[in-house]
Structure 1
C-alpha cells in the first residue's frame, strides 16, 4: 500500500522505486491501486455531499 500511496502522490526516489519493482507482485499492486482509487472516489463523493448538504455551496 505504501508504494501505491507514493505513486498517487507522485513522489518517489529512484532507489525506492527500484526496490519496489524488485519486491512487489504486480497483481498485488493492481489490487491495491484499485482499492486506493475506490477509497479516493468515495471520499470525494462524501465530501461533495457534505458540502452541498451543509449549505456552503448554496446561494
Structure 2
C-alpha cells in the first residue's frame, strides 16, 4: 500500500524569515509559528543571513549604549 505524501511545505520569503527570527530573538513566538518553522518552512540561507544581520544590529546597539553611558 502506498502512503499518501504530505503536501509540499511552502517556503517563507526573506522578509517573513526576518520577522520570524526577530520575534524568536526577543522570545515572543507563538507555538503554531514555531511548529511551522520546525516543519521546514524556512530557507537555511535566509536564516544564516538573518542571523548575521541580527548580530550586527545587536552589537551596534550595545556599542551605542556603551558610548552613551561613558559620555
TM-score clears 0.5: yes
Aligned to 2:11: none
Where 2:35 maps in the other structure, the secondary structure is helix
TM-score normalised over the length of structure 2? 0.63
CA RMSD of aligned residues (A): 1.4
TM-score normalised over the length of structure 1? 0.73
Higher helix share: 1
Q: Rg: which structure is higher?
A: 2
Where do 5+ consecutive residues of structure 2 fail to align? 1-17
